[in-house]
Amino acid sequence: MPPGAFRHEAMPYRGAEQFVGLAASFLERAVQEREPALVLVDEPKQAQLRDALGPAGTSVTYRDVRVVGRNPAHIIPVWRSFVDDHAGHGALWGIGEPLWPERSASEIAECHQHEALLNLALADAATLTLACPVDVGVLAPATVSATVRCHPDVRTAGATQAPA
C-alpha cells in the first residue's frame, strides 16, 4: 500500500490475551504521539485494552460495537464521522470488530459486505489505519476466511502482509 493511503487490515487473534497484545501494539504510536484513535469493540475488550494502555491512552476513544454496530450498516458512518472530525490532524488509528459469535448468518453476511465496502467508503481517508480483529478461536473457519479476504492486508504480531 502506498504511503498516504487508507490501510485496512484484518487482525486475526485467538482469545483475550492475544487481542489485547495485538491491539495495544497497534495503538502504541497513537498513544505515544497522542494521535486520535477510535476503538469499536465490546465493553469487556475495552476494559482490558484500557488497562493495558494505562493513563497514557487518553487519546483513544471507545465505543461499544455491540451498540453502534448492532446493525452492521451503521458502522461505516461512525468511521466516516471519525475521519471527518479529525480532518487535517495527521495520522488516525482505528480498531473495529463487527463480528462476534452470536451474530446470525444474515448479520455475518452483512458484516462481510461492510468490511468490503469500507475499502470504498474510506478510500479517501489517507491518514487512517484501521485494524479489524477477528477471533479465530470462536468464529467458524469459513467466517474467518471470508472476513480476512475483505481486507487488503493482514496484521499479525506487528507485521502486515497480503491475505493468503
- Please give the pLDDT value at position 152: 87
- Reply yes or no on whether the pLDDT at 158 is more than 70: no
Least confident of 4-8, 27-31, 32-36, 149-153: 4-8
Q: Give the Cα-Cα-Cα angle 149, 154, 158 (nearest 5 degrees).
A: 170
Find the distance separating the first CA and the last CA of the chain, reported in whole Å: 16
How does pLDDT run across 24-83, given as a tens digit for each residue?
A: 999 999 999 999 999 999 999 999 999 999 998 988 999 999 999 999 999 999 999 999
Residue (of 12, 4, 62) closest to 37 by Cα position: 62
Q: What is the pTM (predicted TM-score) of this model?
A: 0.91
Mean pLDDT of 129-155: 94
* pLDDT value, residue 2: 43
Residue 36 C-alpha cell reads as: 486520535
- The mean pLDDT value of the chain amounts to 91
Q: What is the DSSP string of 49-88?
A: HHHHHGGGGGGEEEEEHHHHTSSGGGHHHHHHHHHHHTTT
Torsion, CA 73, CA 77, CA 78, CA 82, rounded to 10: 160
Q: Is the dihedral of CA 130, 133, 139, 145 positive or negative?
A: positive
* Digit-coded pLDDT (tens) for 98-123: 999 999 999 999 999 999 999 999 99
CB atoms within 10 A of CB 164: 7
* Pair 72, 100: CB distance under 8 Å: no
